């Protein structure tokens, strides 16, 4: 196991009733699904990298949400999180994504020629837009559970992939730690 999780062993000294979070004022998908019985069943489990149920739910415990905005309330630390904690995560995903079942399969199409829209935005109304990306690379923990070294390895792999792009997809990668104020301002101005 690459990571030890001694904080989970400490929590197991207390009963599940003592450790179960007060979710009575929470408005997130995790709080809707997690019960004391489920917590008792899952609390001693962890993924091979040491990600625990308390790691999964802590963001939702710390951030109860807003009365009008339903947040997810949980995170995955690695790809195994989805299997180890599927009793919690499958209903959360299904609730959050309008019925997406564990048997459903995500359709991946990485062909940029198949992208539609975005080229006809009215400049009178749209000043700028951005695209958010996330990453999951097999064998690497996800951001909530990455070590510093692992983050650096993911960055290196990402830079190598980005450097291989050509044509209108070619660009420049700016590492935040090395970015000058002038470069930052230029990116802001260009946006």
The pLDDT of residue 80? 96
Residue whose C-alpha is closest to residue 23's, from 38, 33, 14, 10: 33
Q: Domain total for the chain?
A: 2
Its pTM stands at 0.79
152 is in an annotated binding site: no
The pLDDT of residue 2? 43
The pLDDT of residue 191? 72
191 is in an annotated binding site: yes
Same domain, yes or no, for 85 and 164?
no
151 is in an annotated binding site: no
Give the pLDDT of the chain (191 residues) as one tens digit per residue. 344 555 677 778 899 999 999 999 999 999 999 999 999 999 999 999 999 999 999 999 999 988 899 999 999 999 999 999 999 999 999 999 999 999 999 888 888 788 787 778 888 888 777 777 777 888 999 989 999 999 999 999 999 999 999 998 888 889 989 999 999 999 888 87
Same domain, yes or no, for 14 and 78?
yes
Same domain, yes or no, for 88 and 160?
no
75 is in an annotated binding site: no
Is 47 domain-assigned? Answer: yes
Helix axes 86-96, 53-62, angle to 10 degrees: 40
Residue whose C-alpha is closest to residue 9's, from 38, 39, 56, 43: 43
Is 137 domain-assigned? Answer: no
Which domain does 27 fall in, by range? 6-96
Distance CA 74, CA 88 (A): 10
Query: Does residue 60 contact residue 30 with C-beta atoms inside 8 Å?
Result: yes
CATH code at 46?
Answer: 1.10.135.10
Is 58 domain-assigned? Answer: yes
The pLDDT of residue 1? 38
The pLDDT of residue 7? 66
């Amino acid at each position: 196991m690459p990571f030890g999780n001694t904080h989970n062993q400490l929590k197991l000294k207390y009963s599940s009733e003592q450790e179960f979070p007060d979710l009575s004022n929470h408005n997130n998908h995790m709080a809707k699904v997690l019960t004391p019985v489920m917590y008792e069943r899952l609390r001693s489990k962890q993924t091979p990298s040491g990600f625990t149920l308390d790691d999964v739910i802590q963001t939702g415990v710390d951030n109860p949400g807003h009365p009008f905005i339903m947040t997810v309330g949980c995170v995955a630390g690695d790809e195994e999180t989805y299997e180890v904690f599927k009793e919690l995560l499958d209903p959360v995903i299904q609730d959050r994504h309008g019925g997406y079942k564990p048997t459903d399969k995500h359709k991946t199409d990485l062909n940029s020629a198949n992208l539609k829209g975005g080229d006809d935005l009215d400049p009178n109304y749209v000043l700028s837009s951005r695209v958010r990306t996330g990453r999951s690379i097999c064998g690497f923990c996800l951001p909530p559970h990455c070590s510093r070294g692992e983050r650096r390895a993911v960055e290196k792999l990402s830079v190598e992939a980005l450097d291989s792009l050509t044509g209108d997809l070619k660009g420049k990668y700016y590492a935040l730690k090395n970015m000058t104020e002038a470069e930052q301002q230029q990116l802001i101005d260009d946006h």
